[in-house]
Amino acid sequence: MTRNSVVSTLAVCLVAVACSPGASDSTAASTTSDVSTSLTTREISTATSTSLTSAPSTPASLQSTTTTTPGLECLGIGWIASLELPPGSGSVTFVSDGVLFVATLNAENSARCLAELPERLATQRFVWRPAGDQILFEDGTILGEEGVVRDQQEDSAAGAEAFWTRPTGTSTVEVRSEVITKVSVDGSTISTFTPLLSHESAAYHPDGTTFAVAGFDGNDQGVFIAANDGSDVRVLAFADIGLRFPEMAFTADARWLVFIADHNNDEFSHGFHLHSTSVEPFKMDDGTLAVGAGSEFGMTTHLESDDLVNMLSLAPGGSGAGDVPNGLAVARGECGPNRRALFLPDMNTSQDAVVLADRPSYPVGFIGIGFKGADNRLVADIVIATSEDGCTGPFEFSLVTLDLAEFTMIETTIAVGQNAAIQSTPPPVAFTLAGVTIDPFA
User: Quick one: which of 125, 119, 24, 19 has its CA closest to 76?
Assistant: 19
* Rounded alpha-carbon distances, angstroms, from residue 79 to 14, 23, 76, 421: 7, 21, 9, 15
Instruction: Please state, rounded to an integer, the average pLDDT across all residues of the chain.
Output: 79
Residue pair 389/336 in contact by the 8 Å Cβ criterion: yes
* pLDDT confidence of residue 381: 94
For 361-418, what is each residue's pLDDT tens digit?
Answer: 999 999 999 888 888 999 999 999 999 999 999 999 999 999 998 999 999 988 899 9
**Could you report the per-residue pLDDT of 69-126, keeping only the tens digit for each?**
444 545 454 665 455 677 788 889 999 988 898 886 655 556 778 888 888 899 999 9
Which are the contacts of 152, defined by CB distance < 8 A and separation ≥ 6?
8, 137, 139, 140, 141
Rounded mean pLDDT, 199-203: 96
Contact 133, 81 (CB under 8 A): yes
C-alpha span between 262 and 28 (Å, rounded): 42
Mean pLDDT across the stretch 127-144?
A: 91
pLDDT for the residue 104: 63
Please tell me what DSSP assigns to residue 35. G
pLDDT above 80 for 143 = yes
Q: In angstroms, rounded to a whole number, what is the distance separating the alpha carbons of residues 244 and 201?
A: 9
For the beta sheet containing 282-283, the strands, ordered from the edge strand earlier in sequence to the opposite edge, are 282-283, 289-292, 437-439
265, 245 Cβ separation under 8 angstroms: no
Q: In which band, very low, low, confident or very high, does the pLDDT at 54 lie, cut at 50, 70 and 90?
A: very low
**Residue 311: pLDDT above 90?**
yes
- Structural domains of the chain sorted by starting position, each given as residue range(s) with its CATH number in brackets: 11-20+40-151+158-439 (2.130.10)
For the residues 174-184, what does the mean pLDDT come to? 93
Average pLDDT over residues 247-261: 94
For residue 160, the model assigns a pLDDT of 65
pLDDT of 34 above 80: no
Residue-level pLDDT at 305: 95
Mean per-residue pLDDT, 202-223:
95
H/E segment holding residue 293: helix 293-296
Q: Which residue has the higher pLDDT, 158 or 258?
A: 258
Contact (Cβ atoms closer than 8 angstroms) between residue 400 and residue 414: no
Which of the four pLDDT bands, split at 50, 70 and 90, describes residue 213?
very high
Strand-pair category, 135-137 with 142-144: antiparallel
pLDDT for res 69 = 40
How large is the average pLDDT for residues 271-298?
Answer: 79
Within 8 A by CB and 6+ apart from 84, the residues are: none
Of 80, 99, 98, residue with least CA distance to 90: 80
Task: Report the share of the chain in percent with pLDDT over 90.
Answer: 49
Whether this model's pTM surpasses 0.85: no
Check residues 356 and 83 and name the one with the higher pLDDT.
356
Strands (E), 180-316: 180-184, 190-193, 198-204, 210-216, 221-227, 234-238, 244-250, 256-262, 272-278, 282-283, 289-292, 300-305, 309-314
Segment (H or E) for 296: helix 293-296
pLDDT at 78: 62
